[in-house]
A = this chain, B = another copy of it.
Amino acid sequence: MPVEGGVVISFARMNRILALDVRNRRAHVQPGVINLDVSKHAAESDLFFAPDPSSQKISTIGGNIATNAGGPHCLSYGTTVNHVLGLEIVDEHGEVFTTDLDGPGYDLTAAMVGSEGTLGIVTSAWVRLLQLPETVRVWLAAFGDVDSASAAVSAIVAAGIVPTALEMMDAVITRAVEAAFHAGYPTDAAAVLLIENAGFADDMDACEAAVEAIAKDHGAISWRTAAGAVERDALWAGRKGAAGATGRIAPNYYTQDVCVPRSKLPQALRAVDAATTAHGIVVGNVFHAGDGNLHPLLMYDKRNLKQVAAVVESGNAILQAAIDLGGTISGEHGIGFEKREAMTQVYSTADLATMARVRDVFDPTRALNPEKIFPRGTRCPEVAPPADPTARSA
């Protein structure tokens, strides 16, 4: 369909890996490429794409860029912005331009990543690939209460150990996951830590001993090392499929996505508990504990409008609690319609005005993904109660 004065691009088939540059460890990809397919393709050259949102089997590189997606491994490897080397972009005017991390001039790559499509449409991206680690080891530590598990998380990082992943799941989640996947998670513990480290084989025994000692010092009631690749893959399949597994609890779930300083995890989890209990909502917690990124899954039935309203209110209370604890309103899922009014709580008027003026450069008429990110004074009907809150995977 021609656009007057602009360019016409068919996005339907923009799902090709254009180039794999093994020597310089990067790939040139179209935005419609599925996240996991980049790593599958790169694995033939012992490389991988580090950002691994739990949705990586279905989410695209373009979507990962739009939301600056993270995932369990961003604790060690950083989020999508740390793995994008350059972008080709079309803005509202139909101008095609490129951003380049290495060159002089203004580095606009980071501004584009996480802008939720409001600054332009990414038509291709150069992404960084990392060498596959020599060894991967996965451990499970179970705790009798959530506070002990949270304290262990802080202690591991404070000891100077940065595991490649440090995930927490509560009993609601481990029971749902075990029923669905039989992955080997303990179902009798209040909190389970899934800890992964990847690197040189020589370092692994010392790392395992250090992490195990910290876990036990903080009251771990059980400790297990995954026996091999099959067990590791099963545990990860359970973790990444946790949101889907909650279908056994309720027909719908709403994922909140907030961050708090790691040291505030116990308070944040108590706030989640209080916010959901007050409204009679069942909640399961499965989240990136290492970087303080909570993902409470609020269970509900969308045919029950009272439950829908209660979920929205609980979600808002959790958002407010995260702000009050010095955290922020989105870890990796973005702002969209849902959280745009909360932007005024984490940014000053001048900060928001600056962002709006940057948007004027690329999208003066707000044609690109309109109504997103920036507050309008009114909530959009899509997410206001009693409509269905956006259900997203954790």
Q: Which residues of A contact B (CB under 8 A)?
A: 23-24, 68, 81, 91, 95-98, 102-111, 113-115, 119, 131, 160, 202, 259, 261, 263, 328-330, 334-335, 339, 343, 346-348, 350-355, 357-362, 373
Q: Are A334 and B108 in contact (CB under 8 A)?
A: no
Chain B, residue nearest A24 (CB): B261
Assess whether A109 is in contact with B108, with CB atoms less than 8 Å apart. no
Q: Cβ of A97 and Cβ of B354 under 8 Å apart?
A: yes
Q: Which residue of the partner chain, among B91, B106, B261, B335, contacts A105 with CB atoms under 8 Å?
A: B335
Cα A362 to Cα B361 with chains together (Å)? 11
Question: With A96-B350, A111-B111 given, is the CB distance from A119 to B103 under 8 Å?
Answer: no
B-chain residues with CB within 8 Å of residue A108 when the two chains form the complex: 110-111, 354-355, 358
Residue of B nearest to A160 (CB): B131
Task: Tell whether A351 pairs with B104 under 8 Å between CB atoms, given A160-B131, A358-B361, A361-B358.
Answer: no
20 pairs, A vs B, C-beta closer than 8 Å? A97-B354, A98-B348, A102-B259, A104-B328, A104-B330, A104-B334, A105-B335, A105-B343, A105-B351, A105-B373, A106-B114, A107-B114, A108-B354, A109-B110, A110-B110, A110-B111, A111-B111, A131-B160, A357-B362, A361-B361
A247 to chain B, nearest CB (A): 29
A68: chain B residues at CB < 8 Å are: 107
Contacting residue for A335 out of B104, B119, B261, B358, CB 8 A: B104
Q: A97-B350, A160-B131, A354-B95 are in contact. Are A119 and B105 (CB under 8 A)?
A: no
- Separation in Å of the A10 CB from the closest CB of chain B? 21
Closest Cβ neighbor of A82 among chain B residues: B82
- CB proximity of A46 to chain B, nearest CB, Å: 10
- Distance in Å from the Cβ of A67 to the closest Cβ of chain B? 9
Q: Which B residues lie within 8 Å of A111 (CB)? A: 106-108, 110-111
A113 near B107 with CB under 8 A, answer yes
On whether the beta carbons of A360 and B361 are closer than 8 Å, the reply is yes
Shortest Cβ gap from A356 to chain B (Å): 9
Closest CB in chain B relative to A277 CB, distance in Å: 28
B105 touches A347 (CB 8 A): yes
Q: Which residues of B contact A105 (CB under 8 A)?
A: 114, 335, 343, 347, 351-352, 355, 373
A160 to B134: give the CA distance in the assembly, Å.
12
In the assembled complex, which residues on chain B have CB atoms less than 8 Å from the CB atom of A360? 361
A361 vs B359: C-alpha distance in the bound complex, in angstroms? 9
| A343–B115 CB distance below 8 A | no
Q: Is the CB of B95 within 8 A of A353?
A: yes
Residues of B with C-beta under 8 A to A361: 354, 357-358, 360-361
The answer to whether A107 touches B81, judged by C-beta atoms less than 8 angstroms apart, is yes
Output the nearest chain B residue to A352 by Cβ-Cβ distance.
B105
Residues of B within 8 A of A91 (CB): 354
Which among B24, B96, B106, B335 is the interface contact of A355 at CB below 8 angstroms?
A: B106
Chain B residues near A357 (CB-CB < 8 A) = 361-362
